[in-house]
Structure 1
Amino acid sequence: MPTQAYALFNTPIGHCGIAWSERGVTGVQLPEQDEAATRARMGRRFPQCSEGVAPPQVQEAIGAVVALLSGAPTAPVDLSDVMLDMDGVPPFHQRVYEVARRLLPGETVTYGEMARQLGDPGAARAVGQALGSNPFAPVVPCHRVLAADGRAGGFSANGGVTTKLRLLLIERARFNGPGLFDEAVDAPLPCDNSFRTSSCSPP
């Protein structure tokens, strides 16, 4: 379904964006450098529509994303009920996103493990490419998918893997080894408004 409008909303890490159609959410944007930059990004992603007032279902999705990014030590925030409109998303990508959405906050898997869950153990790189095109982060939580050697893999937001680590740390993720942190040892975690894009890069 065609995207009807988009809206910005404030979170503890900066202004995010969300777009919707009659069927559901058509895109989510993690914060850019500031509110104006996020608005400009949404305008480029959805040039056929303008900013509007989110309907009730989208408001509920916004509230869930804000709760997730707040990192409150309460029950895990489950975004799996957010209705997504995947019209135009390739079928394989849809399958990858459905599997990724089963991951709870703080839970991680590798690209290879996700490929095996999809019934195609040799598709780890294809899984990474699908996550690299993810237009719905963090509703589709591509930041929870890691490389096979215990490292973070790619992330295309400003700050690279340090941004991915920040999202995982907000969720109090537990890691199986030091490799994930070694990738960011020379770089500080990005400040609250430094997020640029919404997708994960391939491993």
Structure 2
Amino acid sequence: MHWSMVEGTPLGTIWVVASAQGVLRVIFGEDGEREWAEVQTAHPGMERREDGLAAQAIAQILEYLRGTRKTFTVPLDLRGTAFQRRVWAETARIPYGQVVTYAELARRIGRPEAARAVGQALGANPLPILIPCHRVVAAEGRLGGYTGGRHLKRWLLHLEGVSLAVG
């Protein structure tokens, strides 16, 4: 495993961790430093690299933040339950500049009763931005939660041209 990071972005510091297969984690936001410390403790042999998949992901995220990228091509190494991976895969299909509700996402995966479980799966999303969980909102257009903080969710949606009437 290896990692890369960038400071001074609109999201603050962003850390990306990758395996040989793909990107494992994207970390930023309110709890970013704590999460990064946990990852370092869990994987003490990680090497910082300015090339490879982590650096590619950083470059693509920076392009996205500048408004010049709408989709991501870096490979992902998704690790989660079958349900989580299903939710994340469907979330990855939400187009740039569009939002869906937790209930709609649950319906799309064939589990219309599972809106709360969908929210929990999105809360465990290890790849925010790359898997755009910020595009999933609560009923009536309310913002809902976000791992990086609600202000960052609102900022990301604004970047994509989405404005929510209700916060």
Q: What is the TM-score when the length of structure 1 is the normalising length?
A: 0.72
User: Percent identity at matched positions?
Assistant: 34
Q: 1:103 aligns with which of 75, 94, 97?
A: 94
Structure 1 residue 54: deviation in Å?
Answer: 4.2
Residues 1:169 and 1:136: Cα distance change in structure 2 (over 3 Å): same
Q: Which residue of structure 1 aligns with residue 36 of structure 2?
A: 42
Any runs of at least 4 consecutive aligned residues in structure 1 with deviations exceeding 3 A, and if so which?
54-58
Equivalent residues of 2:25, 2:126 under 8 A apart? yes
In the TM superposition, what are the counterparts of 1:78-157 in structure 2 within 5 Å? Answer: 78-79=71-72, 81-87=73-79, 89-157=80-148
Question: Greater relative contact order (Cα 8 A, min sep 6): structure 1 or 2?
Answer: 1
Q: What is the CA–CA distance in structure 2 between the aligned matches of 1:66 and 1:161, rounded to whole Å? A: 20
Match of 1:77 among 70, 82, 86: 70
Give the SS at the match of 2:75. Answer: coil
2:59 is matched with 63
Aligned to 1:164: 153
TM-score of the superposition, structure 2-length normalised? 0.86
Which residue of 1 is the match for residue 2 of structure 2? Answer: 5
Aligned pairs, number? 164
Residues 19 and 25, structure 1, Cα contact 8 Å, conserved in 2: yes
Unpaired segments ≥5 residues, structure 1: 184-203
Gaps of 5+ in 2: none
How has the CA–CA distance of structure 1 residues 172 and 103 changed in structure 2, closer, same or farther, with 3 Å as cutoff? same
Report the Cα distance in structure 1 between the residues aligned to 2:135 and 2:16, rounded to whole angstroms: 20
Root-mean-square deviation (Å): 2.1
